Amino acid sequence: MSQPVSQPVSQPVSQPVSQPVSQPVSQPVSQPGESAGESAGESAGESAGELAGESTGESAGDSAGESAGESAGESAGESAGESAGDEVIIETDEGGEDWVDPDDFGEEGEGIHAFKMLDIDGEEVDMRRYRGRVTLVVNVASRCGYTSQYEDLQRLYSEYRERGLIILGFPANNFGGQEPGSEEEIAEFCSANYGVTFPMFSKISVKGADIHPLYSYLTGASNQEVSWNFNKFLVGKDGLFIDQFISNVAPYADPLIMALEAALAAE
């Protein structure tokens, strides 16, 4: 900013005057100190004003930008949700998910998406909520030699769920009476011992005369019965069977991971 330059005040030169001199009118004359002070004051005031204006402008701009960004983000999110028409998934503090299903799922589901099941709390679940996700369906038990697979199943879920994997646990007492507890006891066992956050369901039968229709579909599609606890059925995003892995195929075994990666990559 240009600074005002104080002009030197011309000093009057004494001339002899023979004629009467009219009385001079008093004019306020700026003294050098006053001039410098005023200049400094004006300069400081202008600088402070500009800085304050700039700061206020930036703050206002930032606030407006943030407000516009938030509004745009909210509108985009709402628009995307409305366009998709899918379920709303809410992440929970424990790393699991709460599901808010749409009022209408639309067309009928295929494969496992054609069923309605009861979760471990007794609430009905329309399996169409898992459309678009690769699903690993596992018949589980609390007193089995393979029960420790819960740990790797939970780790697998935590690692892959953001990429579209869902794991569904179905307690079954078909093998050796190794799942005798109630749903409440099973839920407590899984949470306390393995920190399970993937969806768990009410006990069903996975083999025999009373086999649940869900497992009738899975074993029919695979042409292989459930052999023991912790058999794993890999299901595609469309709900249709892909592959079955017996109990001794661990969650991180190469064949299972390769099939999972391929299913996640599929359109």
Q: DSSP letter string over the chain?
A: -PPPPPPPPPPPPP----SPPPPPPP-----HHHHHHHHHHHHHHHHHHHHHHHHHHHHHHHHHHHHHHHHHHHHHHHHHHHHH---EEEE-TTS-EEEE--S---SPP-GGGG-EEEBTTS-EEEGGGGTTSEEEEEEE-SSSTTTTHHHHHHHHHHHHGGGTEEEEEEE--TTTT---S-HHHHHHHHHHHH---S-BB-----SSTT--HHHHHHHHHHT----STT-EEEE-TTS-EEEEE-TTS-TT-HHHHHHHHHHHH--
Q: Could you tell me if residue 50 is inside a domain? A: yes
Residues 55-65: tens digit of each pLDDT: 444 444 454 44
120 within some domain: yes
Whether 242 maps to a domain, the answer reads yes
Q: Quick one: 53 and 168 in the same domain? A: no
Spatial CA neighbour of 256 closest among 243, 267, 241, 239: 243
Distance CA 37, CA 265 (A): 75
Active site residues: 144
Higher-pLDDT residue of 248, 21: 248
Would strands 241-245 and 232-235 be described as parallel, antiparallel, or unpaired?
A: antiparallel
Q: Does the structure show a pLDDT above 60 at 211?
A: yes
CATH code, domain with 237: 3.40.30.10
Counting the structural domains of the chain, the total is 2
Four-residue CA torsion sign, 219, 223, 228, 234: negative
pLDDT at 104: 81
Q: What pTM does this model have?
A: 0.66
Q: Is 132 a domain residue?
A: yes
Q: Do both 193 and 62 map to the same domain?
A: no
Contact 241, 231 (CB under 8 A): no
**One domain for residues 188 and 157:** yes
Specify whether 80 is located in the same domain as 204.
no
Q: CA–CA separation, 39 vs 45, rounded Å? A: 10
Note the pLDDT of residue 97.
Answer: 65
Task: For residue 207, give its domain range.
Answer: 101-265
Q: pLDDT by residue (tens digit) across 116-160?
A: 999 999 999 999 999 999 999 999 999 999 999 999 999 999 999
